[in-house]
Structure 1
Amino acid sequence: MKYKVIFILSAVCGVLALNSINFMGCDSGTTTQLGEPVSFNRDIQPILAENCSFPGCHNSTDKQAGFDLTSWESTMLTGSTFGAEIIPYNASWSHMVKHINRIDTNISPFLEPLMPQALMPYSNGMPLPPNQLMKIVDWINQGAKNDNGQVAFQNITNKAFITNQASDFVAVVNLDNNHLVRLI
């Protein structure tokens, strides 16, 4: 009887220890804290204007890779020649974040070419400061909303839900342009 109690207590302690290790290992540190919502016009547009949407890059005239960062509509609804650049509520899978992140692979993987690129006199090619990168990440994780609270692609009707056994997500694809618009 004494050994049975010791065995059960040991088993319970072992399970609790393994669960605590499992939960610690799953934390990527990129969760958005509740607080003041990030505003596109107030917080994000100035960062994009200073670092991305100048002549020769992602403005309405030049649109490198077909990507225009001059307004919420062009940023969110048009995408680029590669598809949707921003996946609302999911910064780590957003193509744009993979290009501007030079800080931490827990935020997203790095993707070449790293942005912003050097294009004098507009940009010296220095990485975004961590506070600006995290502001963009927070905005995307909050839904990448415009200043009226609208989330891109919330009213699409022609869509497909695609599962992949290698992922925990269901991909929502807009069938009108074949852009990935959400991961749920």
Structure 2
Amino acid sequence: MNILVNKNILRFLVLITLSIVLISCDDTLTVEDVDSKPMPQSNISFAENIYPILQVKCAFSGCHAQPNPSKGLDLSTYTGVTADPRIVFPREPDHSILVFTIEAIPSYPPMPPVGYAKPVTNEQIRGIRKWIEEGALNN
């Protein structure tokens, strides 16, 4: 009987400990995290360098994320980002609407819109341009 009680107590303690660990884990990126991360000069990674920028500055509820992405443009996944070659034209940043909007080129709406999120930094724009120039790879 004692062994059964001890096993139940042990299971309960393990369950409580795991719950606390899982609750305390927070991998949510902040704008500050993304803005402070240096951008490499080359070999830009979508997962490491581009996706975090899009996640905190473009792909959130009410903007370019599921279930109802603004203008039908889903920037929450690589597939969504690269689905329309007008948005991201691999190897051609000067022909990519994503670049036009983050650089606030006249006749294109500036993104992110003023007041919605912090603007994409010059370093991040350089990185996005370089990623597109390198082929807009899913890496």
- TM-based fold match above 0.5: yes
Q: How does 1:16-35 map to 2 (within 5 A)?
A: none
C-alpha separation between the residues in 2 aligned to 1:54 and 1:117? 13
Following the alignment from structure 2 to structure 1, what is the Cα–Cα distance between the partners of residues 45 and 64? 20
Q: Quick check: 2:43–2:134 contact (8 Å CA) kept in 1? A: yes
Unaligned runs of 5+ in 1: 1-34, 103-108, 148-184
Q: Distance in 2 between matches of 1:72 and 1:86?
A: 11
The answer to whether the aligner puts 1:133 opposite 2:125 as a matched pair is yes
Counterpart CA distance in 2 for 1:133 and 1:73 is 20
Letter in 2 for 1:70: S
In the alignment, is the contact (CA less than 8 A) between 2:86 and 2:95 conserved in 1?
A: no
AA partner of residue 61 (structure 2): P
* AA of the residue aligned to 1:59: A
1: CA distance between counterparts of 2:54 and 2:75? 7
User: So what's the TM-score if we normalise by structure 1?
Assistant: 0.50
Sequence identity percentage: 29
Structure 1 runs of 4+ aligned residues shifted over 4 Å read none
| Structure with greater strand percent | 1
Q: Is the 8 A contact 1:101 1:110 kept in 2?
A: no
Determine the C-alpha separation between the residues in 1 that align with 2:78 and 2:107.
Answer: 23
Greater relative contact order (Cα < 8 A, sep 6+): 2
The reply on whether 1:115 has 2:115 as its aligned counterpart is no
1:36 Cα offset (Å): 3.8
Q: Residue 113 of structure 2 aligns to which amino acid in structure 1?
A: Q
User: Cα RMSD (Å) of the superposition?
Assistant: 1.8
Equivalent position of 1:153 in the other structure? none
Alignment coverage as a number of residue pairs: 99
| C-alpha distance in structure 2 between counterparts of 1:127 and 1:119, whole Å | 9
SS in structure 2 at match of 1:75: helix
**Kept in 2: contact 1:89–1:142 (CA 8 A):** yes
Q: Is the 8 A contact 2:54 2:75 kept in 1?
A: yes
Does the 8 A contact of 1:98 with 1:111 survive in 2? no
